[in-house]
Amino acid sequence: MPVWRSWAFRLYLGGLVLLALVSALDPGGLRKARRLAGEAGRIEADNARLAEENARLSREVKALRTDPSAMERAAREDLGLVRPGERVYRVEGPGP
């Protein structure tokens, strides 16, 4: 008699199917695992983006500490400072 015809094998196979269905339908089962896997992917992408931003900021801090031209650029762009004798012209575009 083939194995698939025995009652023990059918009972085992039925149990596996039942467990798979329960896992698929249970909110704490397969659906939760898929949701958590998606969330983990989003978190990893956020971590990569933040690591890039941290590296960029570290380079900027190092430049501001060691490079006088970087310090001048930051003072001009961020603080709006100008050298004595320079004139600032503001050009405004059309309104919204």
What pLDDT was estimated at residue 79? 86
Q: What is the pTM of this model?
A: 0.54
17-21, 25-29, 42-46, 87-91: the lowest-pLDDT one: 25-29
Q: In the predicted model, is pLDDT for residue 4 greater than 60? A: no
CB 28 within 8 A of CB 22: no
Mean of the per-residue pLDDT values of the chain: 86
HEC letters along 34-79: HHHHHHHHHHHHHHHHHHHHHHHHHHHHHHHHHCHHHHHHHHHHHH
Percentage helix, strand, coil, to 5, in the chain? Answer: 75, 0, 25
Residue 50's pLDDT band, with cuts at 50, 70 and 90, is very high
Residue 3's pLDDT band, with cuts at 50, 70 and 90, is low
End-to-end CA distance of the chain: 83
Residue type, 17: V
